[in-house]
Amino acid sequence: MITREDFVGRFGGIFEHSPFIAERAFDGGLVVEPLTASGVHAVLCRIFRATSVEERLGVLRAHPDLAGKLAIAGELTEDSRKEQAGAGLDRLTPDEHARFTALNSGYVEKFGFPFIIAVKGLTKNDILSAFENRIGNTPAEEFSTATAQVEKIARLRLEAMLPEG
């Protein structure tokens, strides 16, 4: 049986900088072995969805800006670094970087959290297009879209760690 320490150590970062989700899942007796990507995802998402709006907002705010200052400074989590690099966000031209910076600023100003998208399989142009479309959303629409993207990111991270099941 996996211990609390091992579970939180392994899955505490699935939701960016939010180990409390894994802690609550374990403490609530929701963890069932054998651990599979779909099983752990279902449990973590159940906890995430049950949190207060303020806690979910905190999870959204824990995400880095895409191609933002943390990326430039090399301060992304390893998962975020790999995800952004996979989409080419570590190889932007100066003009592309300026566009991402402007969109990031406008987005955070409007919504109060960074633009979040599961970048796996997307190009920088796909991401820019989604960014430009979603910035027109209402705050409620974007909160819903961003939380769904957080869950998708969690699923992709778990699929890289665990067998499907």
Indicate yes or no: pTM above 0.85. Answer: yes
Taking only the tens place, the pLDDT of each residue in 23-79 is 999 999 999 999 999 999 999 999 999 999 999 999 999 987 776 654 554 555 777
Superfamily of domain 64-153: Oxo-4-hydroxy-4-carboxy-5-ureidoimidazoline decarboxylase (1.10.3330.10)
Taking only the tens place, the pLDDT of each residue in 92-143 is 888 988 898 899 999 999 999 999 999 889 988 999 999 999 999 999 999 9
Measured CA to CA, the distance from residue 137 to residue 153 in angstroms comes to 21
Measured CA to CA, the distance from residue 12 to residue 159 in angstroms comes to 15
> Can you count the helices (H) and strands (E) in the chain?
9, 0
- What are the catalytic residues? 63
